[in-house]
Amino acid sequence: MFLKQIRSYIIAKSYDYAMRSTEKSCLQSWRKELLAQAHGDLLEIGAGTGVNLPHYPDHINRIILSEPDAQMRKQLQRETDQFQQQRLNITPWGADSIEMPDGSFDTIVSTLVLCSVPSLETSLNEIYRLLRPNGILLFLEHVISDHPPTRTWQHRIEPIWGLCAGNCHLTRDTATAILAAGLKIEQLTEAPMTGAPAFVQRTIRGSARKSSDSGKKV
């Protein structure tokens, strides 16, 4: 328990610094482009230190930032204090148990989070439940490599990587899981996350929509 707290503290304190060069080389511009589509009532899962906040359009109605890690939440609170927006709330919910009614959100955002949730399937089912008919999931995630030797290494180092990097998985096929949850992928861009180690370089980003035919999976 104590070790877990120390690990959380170190990850939260070092996160922005560790990601600095990758943010500059690609993530910042990807976030800006992706999040321009955000609208209405928005939930961000695993909001971390709040790096997406500067990219949200002004016209968003309400923003709920969920972040289950207490240390990350402290960083997030500091970041949101600068925004001083009444329309913004921080919650401690994990992505698999968001305490909101079905169909609460027009937009759900997940950036570099679906690699860390305990069950991809459970979290995506929760996202599906929470989206309104016609609502969108905006995602940016690193995924399993399509290069067989890199893939082999991803499988080998995943257990130890997960311990060091907050339960991050290297071998998830997130696009397939999004489709399996019943969402329709409308935009999908694949690109290497330059500046990151080879085993986390392959990323996907885009949008996936819940059918306007409420309740029925597509």
Ligand X SMILES: C[S@@+](CC[C@H](N)C(=O)[O-])C[C@H]1O[C@@H](n2cnc3c(N)ncnc32)[C@H](O)[C@@H]1O
Q: Which residues bind ligand X (CB under 6 A)?
A: 45-48, 51, 67-69, 72, 94-96, 111-113, 116-118, 166
Q: Shortest Cβ distance from residue 49 to ligand X (Å)?
A: 7
Q: Shortest Cβ distance from residue 176 to ligand X (Å)?
A: 20
Residue 134's CB is within 10 A of a number of other CB atoms, namely: 12
The structure tokens listed for 104 are: 């609460």
Residue placing its CB nearer to ligand X in the complex, 57 or 133: 57
Residue placing its CB nearer to ligand X in the complex, 119 or 214: 119
Q: Shortest Cβ distance from residue 148 to ligand X (Å)?
A: 26
Residue placing its CB nearer to ligand X in the complex, 51 or 124: 51
Residue placing its CB nearer to ligand X in the complex, 47 or 193: 47
Q: Shortest Cβ distance from residue 133 to ligand X (Å)?
A: 24
Q: Shortest Cβ distance from residue 79 to ligand X (Å)?
A: 11
Residue placing its CB nearer to ligand X in the complex, 23 or 62: 23
CA distance 78 to 88: 13
Q: Shortest Cβ distance from residue 50 to ligand X (Å)?
A: 8
3-state secondary structure the chain: CHHHHHHHHHHHHHHHHHHHHHHHHHHHHHHHHHHCCCCCEEEECCCCCCCCHHHCCCCCCEEEEECCCHHHHHHHHHHHHHHCCCCEEEECCCCCCCCCCCCCEEEEEEECCCCCCCCHHHHHHHHHHHEEEEEEEEEEEECCCCCHHHHHHHHHHHHHHHHHCCCCCCCCCHHHHHHHCCCEEEEEEEEECCCCCHHHCEEEEEEEECCCCCCCCC
Residue placing its CB nearer to ligand X in the complex, 83 or 133: 83
Q: Which residue is nearest to ligand X (CB)?
A: 48
